[in-house]
Each structure stands twice: as structure tokens, then as C-alpha cells.
């Protein structure tokens, strides 16, 4: 429960900062993830932390939350040196954390998830009552209502995250850490998250927010710290800075926030969907009557609120999910319910796939980078021609990709799990683009990726388009869709609402279409 009494230390003027970090350092092997990082955050402030992928943001927050132990340095809470050696210590010190990857039990209800770990007595009944009351008060206090009896797996991501926040603050946390909370949210969900955060701020809760979206930093934070290569390169009052300055601080050079592209020169149709349908195991329709064509040298963007069939569309197009009705024509291969395909055949047909979920599909986290760099291509020449996998060829291939796509650290023997999220993504993108696919299926290419890398990835996609690749791009970022696509298809509830040429699209028309309202669209 969030308690309301004022801490003696913070009453009166000249109170100490809610959190102060002094000279925090942390080394992993030879990587110095944090180098003497210091910062102070006032009580009730919303403080942003920005930096490139691998800058050390998550490491720093994991230290503050007791998941890693710093090699040196101090953590001060309300002016007191507070050793934090475990998350239990952190919770005792009033710190709550929402991780980028949710830690909920999918087939438990909201109530059961919130109660988890604080059941109280051997019998569940009293705990259930208390938790129900807690959900109600928190819901009213911070305007974050969730149905206590809904199953987690049935909730949209935004609400699941709300449950994570409730779990983080239920013990009375006065400091809330959010590590890239908006990466998976739709703009609407992000807006309601910010509303909650503003309410918490009014209540005196201190919030630390890690994000790669500078617009969010500008919109909601009071102060911001920029980290580069494990070091603080600047503290700013949000009111005194702008996205360009922050971007330059982060990357160390000027960054194009929107990539230039010439007009498309479409060629032959390479990918065509014709009355495409697919169903869930229980017969529920997931995709309904999808029709589109993509030509060589063209990007078709798929816009829509997450969970409206985009995932299934990506799965069907890449051969992961069978076609149940209609047909799919990939170059000159026809795929229907009868003539099935699989990911191997699609790959052989030069269809590349950058999957939406890099941890689930894109990488084997336990594998070394060089093994991940041949995932899906282990039978091709990148692993050599002989009967055995050519180790040198595999390593050289990985080094090439790392050099060309600036994957950091450029160590082919580091296991996938030890790269930061953005660098994992760059490795996946490098692997797929490097094979010069004729058709590329792309899901959320820049989720969790820093602005420098977004610029780079966008340039690569445009270059691939200009070389004659047909690209299908799914993204929940409207800005990304508008910035890259030549035509935009909007999806709602597994159906296509319409296809509009890029010139005629703006956030507003797309927004209406995403809600299922058909505009006066042509084509």
C-alpha cells in the first residue's frame, strides 16, 4: 500500500534527494558497463535516463534494484547510505521495479498475480480480500483500474503492464523504476501509463524512466541523465533541452530523426495475398480476407493497434503458420491450405524474416553470437561447404555482420544473452539483411533500439528497397510506418480496413482506420 505520511527527512526545505547514486561502477568480464556513475533525483520527480544500446542503463537500474551488485559506489535513499544487496533490500528501501520483460503468471488472474509472494496466511481467503481492497484503492488513487478476475493472458499488454506496476508499488514503494516500459505499448496505452505516472508524482512517488523515445522524455520527465559508454555525459532539466541535443549527447554526433528516401520505383509483384485467412485451433478467425500485393522495390507498412492480426500475418508470410483459406503467392510459388510451406522453404525462396520477438524466435540466447549469426542459414555456405560446420567461416561471417551493423561489443564468442537488447536486434537484422532477400518480412524492427541504431536500420531497409526487395513492415510505431512505407495497410480485428498511399496518410486518418472506421480510401 502506498503510504502517505511524510518522511521526516524530506519535510522542510533543503531536503536530501530521494535517490542519490555516487560513483557506481560495474564490470562484466572486460566490459565496463558502468563507470563511476553519479546522479541525484529529487523527491517526486520523474527522471529520465537515456543512452545508446549497451550504454549501461539496465545494468545501473539492476544495481539499484539489487539484481546486480556494484563493484564500487554508494546508493543513498533520502540522504542515507543504503546498501542494497538483493531485491528484498530494495523493496525494504521502498524501491519497486517494472522490468522490460514481464514477470507474470499468464494463467493466473490479476488478483492471484498481485497476491503472489504476499499471500499472508496459510489460507488464501483473508489475503484475497485484502488484495481485492488494495486493487480497488490503488485503482482509485492512481486511476489504474484492472479487472481483478481477468486472466493475465487475456489482457492486452498495456493492462498487463499495469498489473506489473501494481505489484511494484503494492508494498508501499516510494521509488518506481521503469525499464523501457513503452517499448511494447501502443501510443494510447503509453498515454494512459503517463497519466498514472503523473498521478504518482503528485503523490510524491519518485519515478525513474528508461526509454529510447525522446518524445516521451520531453513529454513527461522533469530531469534527464544521458549515459554513453557507461559514463554520464550530461544531466539536463527537461525544460532546458530538446531532442536534438539529447540525441547528440547520446550518440556523440548529429542524428537524423527521420531518414530521407526517394520515391519508390516498383517492379514486378513479388508477394501477393489473395483472400488470405487463418484460424486459431478453436476455429476463431485470426486473419480474415487479406488482400494485398507488394512489388519489388516497395515497402508496404502494416499499421494497427498491437494484437489485431499483425503477428499472425507475419507468421503466415514466413511459413510459421499454415494458410487456412485463400492463397499466398511468393514470387512464383503458390501457397494454399493444400500446398503448404514451412520456414525452410520460404528461406530457400529468398524470403527473409526479421521476427517481432527476438527472444522467442530471433535468437537462441544460450548460443554464442557466431552461432546466432547463422540461425536459419546453418545449411548454407556461410557455414562452409564441407560436411562439418567450418568454425572459421562461421566466426568470420559473424565478425563481418558485427562490423557492418556496428554490433557492440563485436565479440563473436559472447553469448546472445549478454548483449544489450538493441544489439541483439542489430544482430538479427544484420543476419537477415546480409543474405540479400528478395522479399523481407519485418516485425517491429526497432523495438528497444536506440535512435542512432534506428537511423541506421531505417537506412538499411530503404537501401534494400532501392535494390529491389519487396518489404512488408509491421510496426506499432506510426511514425516508423509513416517514415518508411510507400503504401500503408491498416488492420483491425484481423481484417484489413484499407490500404492508403503514403502521401495521403497522416496520423489522424490512420488513427481512425485503426479504430476500424473506414475512411474514403482509394486503392
Partner 1 sequence: MTAPPPLPKWADLFVLPVINLLVAFFICGLIILALGENPISALVVMVKGAFVYPGSLGYTLYYTTNFIFTALAVAIAFHAMMFNIGGEGQAALGGLGGGLVCLWLAPSLPAGIVLPLAILGAAAFGAAWGVVPGYLQARRGSHIVITTIMFNFIAASLMVWLLGGPLLQQGQQSPQTEAFEPAGQMPKMHDLLGGLGIETTSSPLNLSFVLALLVLVGFWVLIWRTRLGYEIRTVGHNPDAAHYAGINVPRTIIVAMAIAGGLAGLMSINELQGVQHRVILDFTAGYGFTGIAVALMGRNHPIGIFLASLLFGALYQGGSELDFEFQSITRDMVLLIQGMIILFSGALAYMFNPPLARFIARVAAKRLEARHV
Give residues in contact with partner 1 (CB under 8 A).
27-30, 66-69, 71, 85-87, 318, 320, 342-347, 353, 355, 360-367, 371, 374-376, 378-379, 383, 387-389, 391, 418
- Comparing CB distances to ligand ATP, the nearer of 285 and 410 is 410
- Minimum distance of partner 1 from residue 273's CB (angstroms): 20
Binding partner of residue 363 among Mg ion, ligand ATP, partner 1, none, CB under 5 to 8 Å per kind?
partner 1
CA 306 to CA 321: how far, in whole Å?
18
Binding partner of residue 298 among ligand ATP, partner 1, Mg ion, none, CB under 5 to 8 Å per kind?
none
CA 249 to CA 233: how far, in whole Å?
7
Our measurement of the distance from residue 173's CA atom to the centroid of its chain's CA atoms, rounded to an integer in Å, reads 25
- Comparing CB distances to ligand ATP, the nearer of 221 and 420 is 420
- Helix (H) or strand (E) holding 161, with range, is helix 157-169
252 binds ligand ATP (CB under 6 A): no
Judge contact between 294 and 442, C-beta under 8 A: no
- Under rule CB under 5 A, which residues in 466-495 are in contact with Mg ion? none
Which of 20, 41, 49, 58 touches Mg ion (CB under 5 A)?
Answer: 58
**10 Å Cβ neighbour count for 383?**
20
- Minimum distance of partner 1 from residue 30's CB (angstroms): 7
- Comparing CB distances to ligand ATP, the nearer of 94 and 183 is 183
Among the residue ranges 24-32, 334-342, 354-362, 393-401, the one whose residues contact ligand ATP (CB under 6 A):
24-32
Binding partner of residue 213 among partner 1, ligand ATP, Mg ion, none, CB under 5 to 8 Å per kind?
none
Instruction: Give the 3-state secondary structure of residue 486.
Output: coil
Judge contact between 510 and 517, C-beta under 8 A: no
For residue 7, give the C-alpha cell.
518522511
Quick one: CA dihedral 507, 488, 191, 109, positive or negative?
positive
Which of 3, 6, 23, 29 touches ligand ATP (CB under 6 A)?
Answer: 29
229 binds ligand ATP (CB under 6 A): no
Binding partner of residue 419 among partner 1, ligand ATP, Mg ion, none, CB under 5 to 8 Å per kind?
ligand ATP
- Comparing CB distances to partner 1, the nearer of 195 and 359 is 359
Among the residue ranges 56-64, 88-96, 136-144, 305-313, the one whose residues contact ligand ATP (CB under 6 A):
56-64
For residue 422, give the C-alpha cell.
538493441
- Minimum distance of partner 1 from residue 44's CB (angstroms): 29
- Report which of 343, 346, 316 is spatially closest to residue 331, judged by C-alpha positions: 346
Binding partner of residue 500 among partner 1, Mg ion, ligand ATP, none, CB under 5 to 8 Å per kind?
none
CA 190 to CA 303: how far, in whole Å?
17
Q: Pairing mode, if any, of strands 80-81 and 72-77?
A: antiparallel
The number of residues that bind Mg ion (CB under 5 A) is 1
CA 454 to CA 28: how far, in whole Å?
26
- The side-by-side arrangement of strands in the sheet containing 269-279 is 333-335, 325-330, 269-279, 285-295, 495-501, 487-492, 298-303, 470-474, 439-443, 351-354
- Comparing CB distances to partner 1, the nearer of 339 and 380 is 380
For residue 304, give the C-alpha cell.
494497427
User: What residues line the site for Mg ion (CB under 5 A)?
Assistant: 58
User: What residues line the site for ligand ATP (CB under 6 A)?
Assistant: 28-29, 31, 33, 51, 53-59, 409, 418-422, 450
Amino acid at each position: 500500500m502506498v503510504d502517505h505520511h511524510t518522511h521526516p527527512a524530506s519535510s522542510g526545505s533543503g531536503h536530501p534527494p530521494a535517490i542519490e547514486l555516487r560513483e557506481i561502477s560495474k564490470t562484466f568480464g572486460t566490459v565496463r558497463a558502468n563507470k563511476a556513475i553519479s546522479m541525484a533525483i529529487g523527491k517526486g520527480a520523474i527522471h529520465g535516463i537515456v543512452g545508446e544500446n549497451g550504454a549501461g542503463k539496465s545494468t545501473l537500474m539492476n544495481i539499484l534494484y539489487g539484481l546486480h551488485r556494484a563493484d564500487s559506489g554508494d546508493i543513498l535513499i533520502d540522504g542515507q547510505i543504503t546498501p542494497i544487496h538483493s531485491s528484498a533490500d530494495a523493496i525494504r528501501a521502498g524501491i519497486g521495479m517494472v522490468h522490460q520483460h514481464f514477470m507474470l503468471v499468464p494463467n493466473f488472474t490479476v488478483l492471484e498475480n498481485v497476491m503472489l509472494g504476499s499471500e499472508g496466511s496459510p489460507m488464501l481467503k483473508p489475503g484475497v480480500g485484502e488484495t481485492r481492497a488494495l486493487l480497488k484503492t490503488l485503482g482509485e488513487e492512481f486511476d489504474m483500474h484492472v479487472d481483478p478476475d481477468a486472466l493475465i493472458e487475456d489482457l492486452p499488454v498495456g493492462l498487463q503492464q499495469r498489473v506489473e506496476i501494481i505489484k511494484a508499488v503494492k508494498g508501499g514503494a516510494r521509488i518506481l523504476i521503469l525499464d523501457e516500459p513503452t517499448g511494447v505499448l501502443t501510443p494510447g496505452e503509453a498515454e494512459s501509463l503517463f497519466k498514472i505516472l503523473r498521478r504518482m508524482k503528485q503523490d510524491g512517488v519518485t519515478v525513474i524512466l528508461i526509454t529510447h523515445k525522446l518524445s516521451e522524455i520531453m513529454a513527461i520527465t522533469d530531469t534527464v541523465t544521458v549515459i554513453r559508454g557507461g559514463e554520464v555525459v550530461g544531466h539536463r532539466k527537461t525544460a532546458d533541452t530538446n531532442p536534438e541535443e539529447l540525441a547528440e549527447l547520446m550518440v556523440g554526433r548529429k542524428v537524423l530523426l527521420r531518414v530521407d528516401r526517394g520515391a519508390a520505383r516498383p517492379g514486378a509483384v513479388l508477394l501477393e495475398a489473395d483472400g488470405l485467412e487463418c484460424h486459431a485451433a478453436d476455429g476463431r478467425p485470426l486473419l480474415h480476407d487479406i488482400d494485398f500485393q507488394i512489388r519489388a522495390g516497395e515497402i508496404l507498412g502494416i499499421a494497427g493497434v498491437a494484437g489485431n492480426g499483425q503477428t499472425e500475418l507475419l507468421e503466415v508470410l514466413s511459413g510459421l503458420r499454415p494458410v487456412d483459406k485463400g492463397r499466398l503467392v511468393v514470387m512464383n510459388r503458390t501457397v494454399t491450405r493444400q500446398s503448404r510451406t514451412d520456414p525452410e522453404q520460404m528461406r530457400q525462396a529468398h524470403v527473409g524474416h526479421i521476427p517481432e520477438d527476438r527472444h522467442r524466435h530471433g535468437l537462441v540466447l544460450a548460443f554464442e553470437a557466431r552461432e546466432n549469426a547463422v540461425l536459419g542459414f546453418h545449411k548454407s555456405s556461410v557455414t562452409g561447404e564441407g560436411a562439418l560446420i567450418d568454425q572459421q567461416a562461421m566466426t568470420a561471417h559473424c565478425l563481418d555482420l558485427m562490423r557492418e551493423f556496428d554490433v557492440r561489443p563485436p565479440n563473436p564468442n559472447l553469448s546472445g544473452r549478454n548483449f544489450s537488447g538493441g544489439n541483439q536486434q542489430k544482430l538479427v537484422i544484420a543476419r537477415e539483411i546480409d543474405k540479400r532477400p528478395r522479399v523481407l518480412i519485418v516485425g517491429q524492427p526497432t523495438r528497444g533500439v536506440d535512435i542512432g541504431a534506428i537511423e541506421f536500420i531505417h537506412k538499411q531497409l530503404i537501401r534494400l528497397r532501392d535494390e529491389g526487395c519487396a518489404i512488408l513492415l509491421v510496426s506499432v510505431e506510426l511514425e516508423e510506418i509513416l517514415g518508411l512505407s510507400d503504401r500503408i495497410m491498416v488492420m483491425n480485428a484481423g481484417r484489413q480496413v484499407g490500404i492508403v498511399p503514403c502521401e495521403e496518410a497522416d496520423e489522424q486518418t490512420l488513427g481512425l482506420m485503426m479504430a476500424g472506421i473506414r475512411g474514403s480510401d482509394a486503392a
